[in-house]
Structure 1
């Protein structure tokens, strides 16, 4: 990734018919702004897909090409290389020059070849020597995918780390489990968090795999249809030099290897695989956000809420789970982007067709911007989850007597009583208690009914132990410990330093 300048110039100069003027820059409040860019994402992610980074990376690739061609014997002067290096970072005024040239030529790459040549006149005749447009556009896109994954992965690791701390803290706090949306056997607050952690770990591994594979799939120096014919001509039929040129540029660009066979472009299958991993993470984001919203509805769990935050313009008492709702919304959008990548790959014709261009300008940046937004939210939410223990206990007290009936039945059988007879006694008392809860709105008094029934006298001395919530959570605490020790720790070890930096920054986030 080209170095990021200390400027804050927002430019729309990707369009061939736009010349930057003061009025154009002043009109930002009259022009649609993508909310991913204006509201939700980090500056570092937005910079990767910015015009400045795009065109500076093109120049970087032209430098790599010229350097490598010179190393292999082509007549390129030291002065040309030096001027190219000095002008590698595109300057503000050059955007206007390139926009005017693109409007004239209707070709973005040639417009920037011309603009770069003005900044490095000694190199004007050798910039882009032997290359096709996709040398810069496609190789740059692969570099952006790599660099964007390098931002996503540590942020995801930080979310997993935060949730692991949360899970450890509440590893043995019983709470209602739910199946079919109904109260079921108890789990713990920490155990439920490990479900989210396991899914996020899968996302981490998927994205790591996508990045590792990407590093060996550089497009490199392949020519117009992937045959390297132009470079073979330049090097007078020397196949070894053409292969070496490809290797040199690939290495300078920070990749392990290049694809052996490409068309004019790198295979759009690569986009599919990367965006699949991102879209899968989007599904996880919506799932986690949905769980938190349900628990907030029950008042068991709440996301962070700032001192001056307003939950509702009309209802001042409300504490809406707006971060989790936004997370669900963005996660849903991210999970749907994979379809566009699939359709683009399937629609390519033979050695190339340009119907992939406009859609990839949207799907590639937006998939990463959306993932970045989800990760900012997840880091913020997981940094301040509020557990309402009193509400959790209240909800357990409402349901646990019914769940404890199996323990009571087993204890009676252990004392020599008939299971069927005990079941019938419990059934009658349970329906009576259920009517009190549902029709009269009172507390669940099933345990008191059992205490007052002579039939259950053999187990009354042990009734408190039979209804202790901690006896209903199974191995939940141990599962939390095992997930953290055997799944989380090995996966996050490589991100330890980056997680620390993110932890320092999250406290300052206003989401």
Structure 2
């Protein structure tokens, strides 16, 4: 991902140097297991442990001749070892015993970081929802005025969506945090299963139960689909704030610095650029999810078609989502809300937002539904809805926004339960 949309703590997890550090850790653990089995001498293990992590620049230099990153890494790793030590490195292993096990470890750490970030967004949404629980606003369906709701209710729906995303990510983490050290076609032909058990346990990973040569790629597809769904939930927040920021609506406004400039030509502009950016990034994540689904079906025990995709998608998906969720948290936390504009929007239509309450009450009083509906619809089209109702003998005094909020406490209780997760 380009630096503009990368935060350092996530980007570092996917750097070349971090990858070679993880590979080194796997090689040391595998050699340690082989020593416990009596197959690698203690003295050799000590020197393997002491060998430094290869520099990314050196691996790249060697790869220019070998055209094979793992062999280049192993060559760089073994450069500082005597030959009688180097020969024990990678004993009985194939390339993806190293790559996939280290990848499982990296993805678990990246999941933890993204989950923590999403939990902060959930908490921020829940707190803002509680703050604005009684801030009455108009609900809209099809982009048109519907019935009164509250801004807190809107934010609560977003908080629960993020909570579901957190749960999906946790499940995906469990599925992707696995490794395999099982040999060229997953049969443990040249390596004792104890090596896999030892390595994966030390890294906090599960074991692929029936490996081919690689960890099954439906795991990674599930993970990126969960990330893309999180991105879509963030997009939902962004789209709502963008719609409510429009000049003729202006019920909310994105946080701004004193130095903000919205247009090179029009100094008055205060564009919802953060929300627009978050929307665009969600599109990237959906594309990444589709690419990872293409990676599930590999030829026989494996091919290499998934590798190039994953080199782009996995770092990009995590980096984009981490940036997007972090930016969304700041957007929600510092969002300016205009309650008076929200109430004015309800009043602007002269009581049309109350038509469903009038319909329900008239139906309860008796009468034919179609006739009642058409009478109220005609009053709505008259240009003076409340006046027409009063002219027909209807008491409009009880028509207020709070008429529609009598059962909000049940939702508020659910919100409070969600807030308790973060305390």
Q: Does 1:145 align with 2:107?
A: yes
Matched, 1:310 2:261: yes
- For 1:84, the equivalent position in structure 2 comes to 48
Task: Render the CA deviation track for 1:174-203: whole Å, top value 9, x for unaligned.
Answer: 111111111101111011112211211111
- Structure with higher Rg: it is 1
Correspondence for 2:287: 336
Q: Distance in 2 between matches of 1:213 and 1:421?
A: 58
Which of 266, 271, 282 aligns to 2:231? It is 282
- Assess, with a 3 A threshold, how the Cα gap between structure 1 residues 405 and 110 changes in structure 2: closer, same or farther: closer
- Of 145, 168, 182 in structure 2, the residue corresponding to residue 222 of structure 1 is 182
CA distance in 2, matches of 1:275, 1:416: 55
For residue 469 of structure 1, report the CA deviation from its aligned partner: 1.5
- C-alpha distance in 1, partners of 2:363/2:198? 78
Q: Deviations over 1:323-382 (max 9, x none)?
A: 111000001110221111111212x10011112221111111111112112112111111
Q: Compute the displacement of 1:113 (Å).
A: 1.1
| Residue 259 of structure 1, CA deviation | 1.4
Give the match for residue 21 of structure 2: 56
SS of the aligned residue for 1:184 comes to: strand
CA deviations on 1:135-155 (whole Å, 9 max, x unpaired) are: 211111111111110110010
Question: Take 1:341 and 1:418, find their aligned partners in 2: how far apart are those partners?
Answer: 56
Aligned partner of residue 229 in structure 1, secondary structure: coil
SS at match of 2:381: helix
1:354-503 equivalence runs, <5 A: 354-399=304-349, 401-405=351-355, 407=357, 429-433=379-383, 445-447=384-386, 453=391, 455-456=392-393, 459=395, 463-464=396-397, 466-485=398-417, 487-489=418-420, 492-493=421-422
Alignment-derived partner of residue 81 in structure 2: 120
**Structure 1 180/124 Cα, relative in aligned 2: closer, same or farther at 3 Å?**
same
Which residue matches 2:61?
Answer: 100
Flag the 1:429–1:85 CA change in 2: closer, same or farther, 3 A. same
In structure 2, runs of 5+ residues without a counterpart are: none
Q: Is the Cα contact below 8 Å between 2:133 and 2:150 reproduced in 1?
A: yes
Match of 1:249 in 2: 199
Partner of residue 195, structure 1: 157
Which among 41, 46, 49 is matched to residue 6 of structure 2? 41
Query: How big is each residue's C-alpha offset from its partner over 1:115-169, in whole Å with a ceiling of 9 and x where there is no partner?
Result: 1112333632211111111121111111111111011001000000000001111
C-alpha spacing 1:364/1:410, structure 2 compared with 1 (3 Å): closer
Q: CA deviation at 1:77?
A: 3.0
Indicate how the Cα distance of structure 1 residues 307 and 195 shifts in structure 2: closer, same or farther if over 3 A, else same.
same
Task: Report if the CA contact (8 A) 1:69-1:245 is conserved.
Answer: yes
In 1, distance between residues paired with 2:283 and 2:10? 20
Aligned pair 1:322/2:304, yes or no?
no
**In the superposition, relative to structure 1, how do residues 414 and 218 fare at CA in structure 2: closer, same or farther (>3 Å)?**
closer
Higher mean C-alpha deviation, range 40-49 or range 394-403: 394-403
**How many angstroms does 1:467 deviate by?**
2.4
Deviation at 1:303, TM superposition (A): 2.0
Bigger mean CA offset, 276-285 vs 405-414: 405-414
Equivalent residues of 2:34, 2:195 under 8 A apart? yes
Write the distance in 2 (CA, Å) between the matches of 1:82 and 1:37. Answer: 40
Q: TM-score normalised to the size of structure 1?
A: 0.76
CA contact (8 A) 1:172 1:476 kept: no
1:278 is paired with a residue whose SS is helix
Alpha-carbon RMSD across the aligned residues, in angstroms, is 2.5
Instruction: Give the 3-state SS of the residue equivalent to 2:79 in structure 1.
Output: helix
